[in-house]
């Protein structure tokens, strides 16, 4: 009987100890679960922040590869991208992933709009520049498309002459009031090109038979020195006209000389 009672007491002690162990272990497991959930939350926030960060990088990459942007725009976009990513990374570096996520979302929404605006403005400016250049080039090469020659008594197309320069005389128009010389020049020179052109204000017609000079009265579509008509590209052409006093009626040939030092000299220009 005594033995049975002792065994019963032993079982009670064991059961009580087990219960105490379970009670002591339960709070530890709860803390671990909470810590695990916190870690999962941090991981999720980090993933979200990285997702926004990657989105910024991807948008930047597509923006610069799918558009022909100027070097100035490319520099601005790279700076915007780098500064935005740095602001995200600065928060993540100190383990503040909650703040990093908020920052990343804000950066994603704002910097993409800002980068889009920069690219859009650059493309618009480039298109505007192209339109202006097209108009400029057209005005250089087609200044007399709507020109009427009714007032001239005689118009000579592609006259013959002698010269060492790259300027072509394309048309001579004669009237009792004036002599109009239309020319075309290409900016090519050797293996390069000249960036501007002008005409000397002292350019004149010389009539050898009479030893007579007729000084230029006007220049159309070409700058008179010291002003300059500028070229922006290689192989550009400029069509222009020089206006002189009327030639005497019996003149058969004449010369045009810009200056003694200039190679713009045209000899034996034949009109009869």
106-150 confidence digits (pLDDT tens): 999 999 999 999 999 999 999 999 999 999 999 999 999 999 999
Question: What CA–CA distance (Å, rounded) separates 145 from 141?
Answer: 9
Q: Residue 7 — very low, low, confident or very high, per pLDDT cuts 50/70/90?
A: very low
Question: What CA–CA distance (Å, rounded) separates 117 from 42?
Answer: 34
Q: What is the pLDDT of residue 33?
A: 42
**Tens digit of pLDDT for each residue in 72-87?**
999 999 999 999 999 9
pLDDT exceeds 60 at position 12: no
Q: What is the pLDDT of residue 119?
A: 97
Q: Specify the pTM.
A: 0.72
Mean pLDDT of the chain: 86
Q: Which CATH class is domain 154-270?
A: mainly beta
Q: What share of the chain in percent tops pLDDT 90?
A: 72
Q: What is the pLDDT of residue 228?
A: 98
Which residue ranges make up each domain of the chain? 33-141, 154-270
Q: What share of the chain in percent tops pLDDT 70?
A: 82
**Tens digit of pLDDT for each residue in 228-251?**
999 999 999 999 999 999 999 899
Mean pLDDT of 29-49: 51
| Between 149 and 104, the higher pLDDT residue | 149
Contact in structure between 40 and 57 (CB atoms under 8 Å): no
Question: What CA–CA distance (Å, rounded) separates 226 from 223?
Answer: 8
* Of 232, 224, 239, the residue nearest 167 (C-alpha): 239
Q: What is the pLDDT of residue 235?
A: 93
Q: What is the pLDDT of residue 34?
A: 39
Q: What is the pLDDT of residue 47?
A: 83
| Between 66 and 98, the higher pLDDT residue | 66
CA angle 49, 53, 57 (to 5 degrees): 170
Mean pLDDT of 102-109: 92
Contact in structure between 244 and 214 (CB atoms under 8 Å): yes
**Tens digit of pLDDT for each residue in 175-198?**
999 999 999 999 998 788 999 999
Q: What is the pLDDT of residue 241?
A: 99
Bin 8: left if φ > 0, else alpha if -120 < ψ < 50, else beta: alpha
């Amino acid at each position: 009987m005594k033995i049975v009672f002792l065994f019963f007491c032993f079982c009670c002690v064991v059961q009580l100890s087990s219960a105490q162990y379970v009670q002591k272990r339960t709070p530890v497991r709860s803390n671990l679960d909470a810590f695990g959930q916190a870690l999962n939350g941090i991981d999720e926030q980090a993933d979200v922040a990285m997702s926004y960060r990657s989105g910024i990088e991807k948008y930047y990459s597509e923006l610069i590869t799918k558009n022909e942007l100027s070097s100035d725009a490319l520099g601005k976009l790279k700076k915007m991208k780098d500064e935005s990513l740095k602001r995200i990374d600065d928060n993540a570096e100190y383990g503040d992933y909650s703040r990093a996520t908020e920052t990343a979302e804000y950066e994603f929404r704002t910097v993409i709009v800002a980068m889009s605006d920069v690219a859009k403005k650059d493309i618009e400016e480039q298109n505007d520049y192209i339109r202006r250049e097209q108009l400029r080039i057209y005005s250089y090469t087609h200044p007399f498309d709507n020109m009427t020659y009714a007032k001239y008594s005689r118009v000579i197309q592609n006259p013959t002459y002698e010269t060492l320069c790259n300027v072509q005389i394309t048309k001579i128009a004669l009237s009792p009031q004036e002599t109009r010389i239309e020319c075309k020049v290409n900016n090519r020179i050797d293996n390069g090109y000249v960036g501007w052109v002008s005409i000397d204000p002292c350019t004149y017609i010389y009539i050898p038979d009479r030893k007579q000079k007729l000084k230029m009265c006007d220049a159309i579509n070409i700058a008179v020195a010291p002003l300059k008509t500028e070229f922006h590209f290689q192989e550009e052409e400029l069509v222009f006209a020089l206006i002189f006093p009327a030639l005497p009626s019996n003149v058969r040939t004449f010369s045009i000389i810009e200056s003694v030092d200039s190679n713009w000299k045209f000899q034996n220009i034949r009109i009869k």
